[in-house]
Chain A
Amino acid sequence: MAFDIAFWLLAIVSVVAALAVVTLRNIFRAALSLVLCFITVAGLYVTLSADFLAAVQILVYVGAISILLILGIMLTRDVQLGSPTNKLRFPAFLAAIVFFGTVAWAVLNTTWGISPQGPLEPTTATLAGKLFGENGYILTVEIAAVLLLAAILGAIVLVREK
C-alpha cells in the first residue's frame, strides 16, 4: 500500500516536472525542474528494487549532469530572454500525444513475461559480476571508457578558442 502511494506520488511528480521542463519560459527554472525529474526517477528505480541504479542516478544525473546543465545556462548570453516561442509548438504537442498514445496502447496490450524470481536484494555485487566478471560485459565497459575519452577530448576542442 505504502509502496503504491510512493510509486504514484513519484510518477505524478516526475511527469509534472518533465512537462514543466518543456513549458516553462525561464530556462533556469526549466533546468531545476529537470533536476526534480531526475530525483523522482531515482525514486522510481528504488521502487523497482534497483538500488545501485538509484544511487548512480543521484550521483551522476542529480550531482554532475545538473551542474553541467546549470553551468551551460550560466555561460549563455541573453539567457533572461528565455526560451523563444515556437510556432511548431502545437504540432509538436500533437505528435507527442500521438506517440504517447501509441506507446501506452502497445505497452498496455502486451502480455509481459514476468520472471518468477523475486528481485535481488543488494544489486551491487551482481552488477559488479555483470560489468567486470568473466561472463560479463567487460568489453562494453571498456568501449564506454573510450567513449568518455572522446567526450573529454571533444568538449575541450569545442569550448577552447580557435
Chain B
Amino acid sequence: MDLGLLAPEISLAATAVAVILLDLFVERKGALAIVSVIGLMVSAAFTIAMFGDPAQVSFNGTLAVDSFALFFKLLFLGIAALVILASVDYVSKFERFQGEYHALILLSALGMLLMATATELITIYVSLELASISLYILAGFLKDPKSTESSIKYLLLGATASAVLLYGMALVFGSTGTTQLGEITQQVQALGAQGVADNPALVLGIILLIAGFGFKIAAVPFQMWVPDVYEGAPTPIVAYLSVGSKAAGFAVILRVFSSAFGLPDWLSLDWGMVFAVLAAIGMTVGNVSALPQTNIKRMFGYSSIAQAGYLMVGLAAMGVASAGETIGQSTILFFLLSYSLANLGAFIAIIAITNKIDSDLIEDFSGLFKRSPLLTLGLTLCLISLIGMPPAAGFMAKFYIFGGAAQNGLLWLVIIAVLNSVVSAFYYLRVVKVMWLGEPASVEKVPSSGALRVALTITCLGVLFVGILPGFAMKAAELAAKMFGI
C-alpha cells in the first residue's frame, strides 16, 4: 500500500470533510468557497508533482497512477475549481446549505478523480456512484418544482443506468473470473475468436457496459435525461454536469475499453463500429434537436449530446486503429480539454447574464453587447470554439479528432461529423447574432463578481491558448495516451 500515490484524492477528501465541519461553526459562508478552491489547488499541486514519475499500480491492482490518470485528475480539479468560482454569486443567494453545496461539489470531484485512476470494476463502480450521487443531489438543490423534477429524473435514469452497468460488470466477471482490467484482457485474449463467439454472455456484458457508461456521457439512445435535467438544475451544476461528468465517463470508457477489451484487434474493431454508429446518431440527434430550442440551457443540453457524438468519433477511431496506436485516445483527451474550457466558459458567461436578467430564454439575451461587452465577447469566443472555428480551441480539437478517424478509414463518419458541425453553427450563431445585433431590453449594465470574471478570463485565455498554440496541450494528451494501459 502506498498512500503517497493517493495524495491528490486524500487531500481532496480531507478538504471536503473540512468544509462540512467548518460549515457547522463558521458564520461567513464565503470562506467555504475559498477553502474549497485552496483544497483543490493543493490537490492539483500533488497531481502536478507526480507528473513524469513512472506509472504505478497500487492497492492490490485497484488503481493505476499513470499520466493518463494524472491528466484527467488535473482536468477534473480545474473544472471543479472553476465551477466553485462561477457559483460564488449564485450561492450567495441561498439562505441555507452553502457549505453542503461546496462539500458535494468536492465529493463529486473526488469520485471523478477516482474514476480516472481506478483499474478494477468494483472500484470503478463505487467511484462512479460517488460522483453521480453528489450530482443527483446538486441537481435538486434549488428545491423548486423544476429543479426537483430534474433531480428525480436524473436519479431514476441514473439508477437504471447503474443497474445496467452492474449487470454488464457481473457478466464480464462471470465470463472472465476477474474484475481487474489487466486480467480481463488476458482472459479475453486466451479465449480467442471462437471462444468469444461461444461466449455470448461476455459480448452481452460488453454491450451493457457501453450502455451504462453511455448514460454518463449522454450518448444516444441514453440521452433522454439531458434536456430536462439541464433545464431544471442550477446553472453552475449544469456546467459541472456537462463537462465534469462527461469527461469522467470518457475517462472510464477509455480505460476500460482500451485496457480490458483493446486487444485483440478484431474485438476492438467490433466495439469501435458500435461507437461509430452511436456517434453518427448522437451528433445528428443532438444538433437537429438543438435547432428549435428557445431556452439556452436546453439548447446546451442538446449541444452536449452532439459534442458527445464528436467525442465518440475518437472512440470509434480508437477501436478501428491497430493495437499500440493511440491516436484515438490522444485526440479524445485533447478534445475533452478544449470542450471543457469552451463549455465552462460559455456557462460562466450565462450564469453572469441570467443572474441579472433572470431568464434562460435566448430572446432575452438580445442586445447584450451594449449592456456587457466583455461577457458577450467571452461567450462569443466560447460558442465559436464549440462550433469548431479558428482561432478557438474547438477548431484544433475537431481537426485532430476527425483527422484521426479519417486516417483509420472512417471517412463516412468524418463526413457526417463535418456536416453536423455546419448544422451546429446555425444554433450557436443564432445566440451570437441575438447578442450582438439585437435591441437591448434595458440599458442597465450586467454586473459580475470578481470570482466570475476571473473564471471567465481563465477559460477564455485557455480556449485561445489551446487554439493558437495547440502543440503543448497535444503533447500532454499524447503523453497521457501513451502511458496508458499499465
What residues make up the interface of A, taking CB atoms closer than 8 Å to B?
102-103, 105-107, 109-113, 115, 134-140, 143-144, 146-147, 149-151, 153-154, 156-158, 160, 162
Contact = CB atoms under 8 A, between A and B. Distances in A.
Given A143-B126, A146-B130, A154-B104, A106 B203 contact: yes
A146 B1 CA distance: 19
A137 B136 contact: no
B107 A138 contact: no
Contacts of B127: 143
Contact of B107 (A107, A139, A150): A150
Nearest 6 A-B pairs (CB), nearest first?
A: A154-B137, A110-B201, A106-B200, A106-B204, A139-B59, A147-B130
B104 A137 contact: no
Contacts of A139: 6, 59, 62-63, 123
Contacts of B167: 103
14 contacts: A106-B203, A110-B175, A110-B200, A137-B120, A139-B123, A140-B123, A140-B126, A143-B111, A143-B127, A153-B100, A156-B100, A157-B104, A160-B96, A162-B143
Nearest to A113: B177
B200 A147 contact: no
A141 to B, nearest CB: 9
B137 A106 contact: no
DSSP class of A's interface residues: helix, strand, loop or mixed? helix
B203 A157 contact: no
B13 A153 contact: no
Contact of B129 (A103, A134, A147, A153): A147
Interface in B189-206: 198-204
Given A103-B204, A146-B13, A150-B107, A110 B130 contact: no
A61 B108 CA distance: 26
Contacts of A113: 175, 177
A149 B18 CA distance: 13
Which of B20, B60, B175 has most chain A Cβ within 10 Å?
B60
A158 B150 CA distance: 13
A154 B97 CA distance: 10
B141 interface: yes
Contact of B126 (A147, A153, A154, A157): A147
A9 to B, nearest CB: 24
Contact of A140 (B6, B62, B100): B62
A162 B100 CA distance: 13
